[in-house]
C-alpha cells in the first residue's frame, strides 16, 4: 500500500516536469509495483468504451488484413483524453506472426533505413536476417552471449524516412511504403473514423527488457488531422500518456501483444513514452496469443502470408526477450507538399545509433532521453 500511495502522490503532483518523475518511477521500480497501471482487459475507473465505425470496414477487408470483424473489436478510451483509442488485440489467430516476421525479416532490408546503417558498411546490413537466424535459433539463456545483428536493431524507418537530426521528413528521402502494412493501417484508421488515411511513414522500434522510449511528442508530420497508429507485438510494456505540457502527470497503461493504440484529435500531440518493457502477463516465454499458427485457408487478396516453421522459430526466439512496435503516420494532407528544402542537410540520418530509443547497459544505467520529438 505504501508503494501505491507513493505512485498516487507522484501522479497528483502537477509541478515541474511531472511526466519525468513518473517516467523514472516506473522505470526504476520493481515488477510488483504496477497496480496503478491501467489494464484495458479489466476496464474500470477512467476507462470508457469507444464507438467504432463498423460499416467503414467490410468483414472481408478485415480478414484480408488479418483482423477480426470490426464488430468484434473491444475498443476503449480514457476520460480526459479525447481522440485516444485503445483496441485490445483484434488480430485473428496466427496473424500477428506475419507482422513479426515482416519486422524482422523484410522491413529492415534496403532501401529502408535502420540504426545499424550509421556505423556499418552498406554491404554488412543488406541481410540482417540471414546473418542472424542461426545465431538466434541456437541462442541460450545466458545474457553474456554475443548479440546477433537483429538483436542490435533499434529502429527502422519506412516510406518518408524520419530525419533524427532535423526532426523532419523530406520529399527527397522516400522509399516505397510496404503495401501490406499500408492496407492494415488503412483498415484500422477507417474503423476509428478516418477513412482515406494514407500510410506514408513508419517507425519501427525494437525493444528488449532493458529498453525504454524517451518522453516525446510526434509532431513532425505536416498533417496533424490524421491519426498516429501504434501496433505492439511480443513482450508487454508500460505506456505513459501525458498532456500538452510535460508538467502534466501522465496516465500509465499496459500494452500487450496485438494491442493497437490510436492517437487522434486532442490526443494526437500529447506527450508520451515507454519507460519499461515487461514479461507478458501469461508468465510464459511468449504470449499465448502467439502460440497458434495461421489457418490453412486465407481469404482471397489477403496480405497475410504463411510463415515457415523455421522462420517462426527464429522470430519466437527473438520475442522471448523483446517487443516490436510499429507506428504508422500520414505525413502530408491530400495535395499538400513539403516546404522548400533548399536548406535541408543530409538524407535523414540519425545523429546517434539510438535516437530516441534508450537501452541500459549492464554496467551503467543511462538517463532516459527525454528530448526527442518522434
Q: Which three cell numbers stand for residue 109?
A: 532490408
CA distance 138 to 122: 26
CB 236 within 8 A of CB 278: yes
Q: How do residues 14-60 score in pLDDT, each as one tens digit?
A: 445 899 999 998 988 665 678 889 999 887 889 999 999 999 999 99
Check whether 345 has a pLDDT greater than 70. Answer: no
- For the annotated binding site for Fe cation, the residues are 216, 218, 272
C-alpha radius of gyration, the chain, whole number: 20
Instruction: Write the burial class of residue 367 (CB in 10 Å: 0-12 exposed, 13-18 middle, 19+ buried).
Output: exposed
Q: Parallel, antiparallel, or unpaired for β 236-241 and 272-278?
A: antiparallel
Q: How do residues 253-291 score in pLDDT, each as one tens digit?
A: 999 999 999 999 999 999 999 999 999 888 899 999 999
CA distance 302 to 63: 7
CA distance 51 to 59: 17
> Which residues does 189 contact at the CB level (< 8 Å), separation at least 6?
195, 197, 226, 227, 229, 262
Q: Which residues pair with 156 in a beta bridge?
A: 114, 204
DSSP assignment of 210-279, as one string?
Answer: TEEEEEE----SS-TTSPEEEEEEESEEEEEE--SSTTSPPEEEEE-TT-EEEE-GGGGG--EEEEEEE-
- For the annotated binding site, the residues are 216, 218, 272
Q: How do residues 69-78 score in pLDDT, each as one tens digit?
A: 999 999 999 9
Residue owning grid cell 467503414? 56
Q: Which residues pair with 274 in a beta bridge?
A: 213
Q: How do residues 217-246 score in pLDDT, each as one tens digit?
A: 888 898 898 999 999 999 999 999 999 998
pLDDT score at 294? 87
CB 281 within 8 A of CB 255: no
Averaged over 307-334, what is the pLDDT? Answer: 94
DSSP assignment of 80-146, as one string?
Answer: T-TTEEEEE--BPTTHHHHHHHIIIIITTSTTSEEGGGGTS-GGGSS-HHHHHHHHHHT--S-TTSP
Q: Which three cell numbers stand for residue 295?
A: 489457418
Q: CA 181, 182, 187, 190 torsion: positive or negative?
A: positive
CA distances in angstroms from 52 to 253, 255, 326, listed in the order given: 21, 20, 21
pLDDT score at 356? 55
Averaged over 355-369, what is the pLDDT? Answer: 41
Return mean pLDDT, the chain.
86
CA 24 to centroid of chain Cα atoms: 20
Check whether 359 has a pLDDT greater than 80. Answer: no
Q: What percent of the chain has pLDDT over 90?
A: 64
Check whether 343 has a pLDDT greater than 70. Answer: no
CA distance 154 to 103: 11
Q: Which three cell numbers stand for residue 86?
A: 485503445
CB 327 within 8 A of CB 236: no
Check whether 327 has a pLDDT greater than 60. Answer: yes
Helix, strand or coil, per DSSP, at residue 328: strand
- Would you place residue 138 in the very low, low, confident or very high pLDDT band (cuts 50, 70, 90)? confident
Amino acid at each position: 500500500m505504501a508503494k501505491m500511495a507513493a505512485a498516487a502522490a507522484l501522479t497528483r503532483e502537477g509541478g515541474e516536469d511531472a511526466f519525468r518523475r513518473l517516467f523514472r518511477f516506473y522505470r526504476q521500480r520493481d515488477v510488483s509495483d504496477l497496480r496503478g497501471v491501467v489494464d484495458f482487459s479489466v476496464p474500470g475507473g477512467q476507462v470508457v468504451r469507444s464507438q467504432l465505425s463498423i460499416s467503414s470496414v467490410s468483414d472481408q477487408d478485415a480478414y484480408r488484413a488479418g483482423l477480426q470483424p470490426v464488430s468484434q473489436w473491444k475498443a476503449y478510451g480514457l476520460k480526459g483524453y479525447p481522440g485516444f483509442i485503445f483496441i485490445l488485440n483484434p488480430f485473428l489467430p496466427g496473424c500477428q506472426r506475419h507482422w513479426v516476421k515482416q519486422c524482422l525479416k523484410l522491413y529492415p532490408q534496403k532501401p529502408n533505413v535502420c540504426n545499424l546503417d550509421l556505423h556499418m558498411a552498406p554491404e554488412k546490413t543488406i541481410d540482417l536476417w540471414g546473418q542472424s537466424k542461426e545465431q538466434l535459433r541456437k541462442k541460450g539463456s545466458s545474457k553474456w552471449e554475443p548479440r546477433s545483428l537483429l538483436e542490435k536493431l533499434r529502429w527502422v524507418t519506412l516510406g518518408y524516412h524520419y530525419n533524427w537530426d532535423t526532426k523532419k521528413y523530406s520529399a527527397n528521402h522516400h522509399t516505397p511504403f510496404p503495401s501490406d502494412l499500408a492496407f492494415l493501417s488503412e483498415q484500422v484508421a477507417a474503423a476509428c473514423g478516418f477513412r482515406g488515411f494514407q500510410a506514408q511513414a513508419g517507425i519501427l522500434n525494437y525493444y528488449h527488457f532493458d529498453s525504454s522510449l524517451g518522453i516525446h511528442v510526434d509532431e513532425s508530420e505536416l498533417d496533424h488531422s490524421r491519426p498516429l497508429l501504434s501496433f505492439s507485438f511480443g513482450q508487454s510494456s508500460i505506456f505513459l500518456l501525458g498532456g500538452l505540457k510535460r508538467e502534466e502527470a501522465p496516465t500509465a497503461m499496459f500494452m500487450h501483444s496485438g494491442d493497437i493504440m490510436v492517437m487522434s484529435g486532442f490526443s494526437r500531440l500529447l506527450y508520451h513514452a515507454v519507460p519499461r518493457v515487461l514479461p507478458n502477463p501469461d508468465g510464459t516465454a511468449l504470449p499465448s496469443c502467439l502460440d497458434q499458427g495461421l489457418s490453412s485457408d486465407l481469404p482471397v487478396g489477403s496480405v497475410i502470408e504463411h510463415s515457415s516453421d523455421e522462420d517462426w522459430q527464429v522470430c519466437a526466439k527473438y520475442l522471448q526477450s523483446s517487443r516490436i512496435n510499429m507506428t504508422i503516420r500520414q505525413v502530408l494532407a491530400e495535395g499538400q507538399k513539403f516546404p522548400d528544402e533548399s536548406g535541408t542537410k543530409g538524407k535523414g540520418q540519425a545523429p546517434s545509433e539510438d535516437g530516441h530509443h534508450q537501452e541500459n547497459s549492464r554496467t551503467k544505467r543511462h538517463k532516459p532521453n527525454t528530448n526527442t520529438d518522434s
